[in-house]
Amino acid sequence: MVGANNIASKNVQAKLVILGDMGTGKTSMILRFVKGQFFDFQESTIGAAFFTQVVSINNTTVKFDIWDTAGQERYHSLAPMYYRAAAAAIVVYDINTMSSFQKAKKWIEELQRQGNPDTIMVLVANKADMITKREVDPEEAKQYAKENGLKYFETSAKTAQNIQELFYEIATEVAQAAPSPSMPSGMKLQSETQERRKKLFCCNT
Ligand code: GDP
Ligand code: MG
């Protein structure tokens, strides 16, 4: 489809995985984004759960297939199945629990070692509404994110702070990274990169 501004529109399907310690608010963040809901007593996720949501950015429609993983160690071996083909990975910690920040760093290391180099990675500090109990220094987290080339967001699934912004930022990056149908052949990415990206950002026009 070609719009009035002569730029072809894109439809991108992107797999998104959310990782992090149990209780950090992964399911709550997704429910806030997908359904606009929040529960003070959110049931823990067993194995993994699946959600979808569509976001429109300029001339691109991004359909997220979201895999919500369980944070418990006994489900750890399932994680590669979700992150290996993920266009984006959100790694969440709870600003009130230092151990969840340590765990987030472990996830980042695992993604850097075993994940796909094209996966967009975001570090998310959740429960920002509970600021009085903060254990993790935001400056330290920001510094860590910077050193590792990650985007960093402070969110609250409870108050909805930065939740839309987080997913829209990811959608924007996904839209930019997806091969464009209108790209002249001379401008095409090197074939190897192109092939790798096609697997992550499957495109139909
Ligand atoms: P998950 O195990 O990472 O999926 O975490 P859940 O989404 O199940 O949330 C664990 C608990 O933290 C639940 O009681 C939620 O209500 C609560 N929670 C999640 N996000 C927030 C938040 O941003 N602020 C506050 N105050 N509580 C939250
Ligand atoms: Mg959960």
Give the ligand 1 atom nearest the CA of 45.
4
Residue 186 lies in a domain: no
Residue 38 lies in a domain: yes
Q: What is the CATH number of the domain that holds 123?
A: 3.40.50.300
Residue 89 lies in a domain: yes
Residue 29 lies in a domain: yes
Supply the range of the domain harboring residue 158. 10-179+191-204
How many domains in the chain? 1
Q: Which residue would you say has higher pLDDT here, 114 or 131?
A: 114
Distance of alpha carbon 92 from alpha carbon 128, whole angstroms: 12
Query: Which ligand does the CA of 39 lie closest to?
Result: 1
Which residue is closest in CA terms to ligand 1's atom 11?
23
**Which pLDDT score is estimated for 182?**
57
Residue 108 lies in a domain: yes
Question: What is the rounded end-to-end Cα distance, in angstroms, of the chain?
Answer: 7
Residue 1 lies in a domain: no
* Amino acid letter, residue 120: I
**Which pLDDT score is estimated for 205?**
44
Average pLDDT for 45-57:
92
The backbone region for 23, taken as left when phi is positive above 0, alpha when psi lies in -120 to 50, beta otherwise, is: left
Residue 74 lies in a domain: yes
**Which pLDDT score is estimated for 71?**
83
**How many angstroms separate the alpha carbon of residue 70 from the centre of ligand 1?**
13
CB 112 within 8 A of CB 80: no
Q: What is the pLDDT of residues 61-87, one digit of tens each?
A: 999 999 999 988 888 889 999 999 999
